[in-house]
Amino acid sequence: MAHSTFPADLPVPKDDGACDHLRGSQLPPVSLVATSGSKIDPSTLRGLTILFCYPRTGAPNETVPDSWNSIPGARGCTPQACSFRDASDELLGLGVTRVFGVSTQDAAYQSEVKERLRLPYELLSDEHLAFVEALKLPTFEWEGKKVIRRLTLAIEDGRIVKVWYPVFPPDKSAEEVVVWLKQERTGKS
């Protein structure tokens, strides 16, 4: 099955409260390597940043194993990334200053993903789990590696103002952010 699609019978993740502590929190200073090669510390960014975290994107021609599909919320990283790509202009028009995707994959791998999917935003690598640990983000183990559970943060001037967790279905992630921006931030419907 292609990475841009996913089975209709994916298990739905449940809200286990693992992100309840995040809303209203100030981001700690943590620099992450971007696909551009620069280092970005989201805590220092002014304006409204949308930062979506995802477990991992599959490599071209990689077969997604059934064991991955059986983990609630694991499958759908490429559709999620593409949802933010496709909504980028609308997000910017609604007051978002920047969008980032974050995973524990290394920046070199993410650079290929950014190019292949034609993403207009940077992907940030938390390969060393500094961001995960500083924010106590929910994770799970996959083939001996810790990966981030899917979630989305709205961050304004370094403070988390909205948390989406769990995110499901993943291809509707950007749409949920747009709805929030229209309702909560601009008063539009």
Note the pLDDT tens digit of each residue in 8-49: 778 899 999 999 999 999 999 999 999 999 999 999 999 999
Tens-place pLDDT, residues 76-114: 889 999 999 999 999 999 999 999 999 999 999 999 999
CATH number of the domain enclosing 120: 3.40.30.10
This prediction has a pTM of: 0.93
Asked whether the predicted pLDDT for residue 163 surpasses 80, the reply is yes
Confidence of residue 1 (pLDDT cuts 50, 70, 90): very low
Neighbours of 24 (CB within 10 A): 10
- Burial profile 70-104: b = 16 or more Cβ within 10 angstroms, e = fewer: ebbbbbbbbbbbbbbbebbeebeebebebbbbbbb
Confidence of residue 187 (pLDDT cuts 50, 70, 90): low
Residue 12 belongs to some domain of the structure: no
Please count the structural domains in the chain: 1
The mean-pLDDT minimum among 66-75, 90-99, 142-151, 162-171 falls in: 66-75
Residue 26 belongs to some domain of the structure: no
Domain encompassing residue 62: 36-185
Residue 5 belongs to some domain of the structure: no
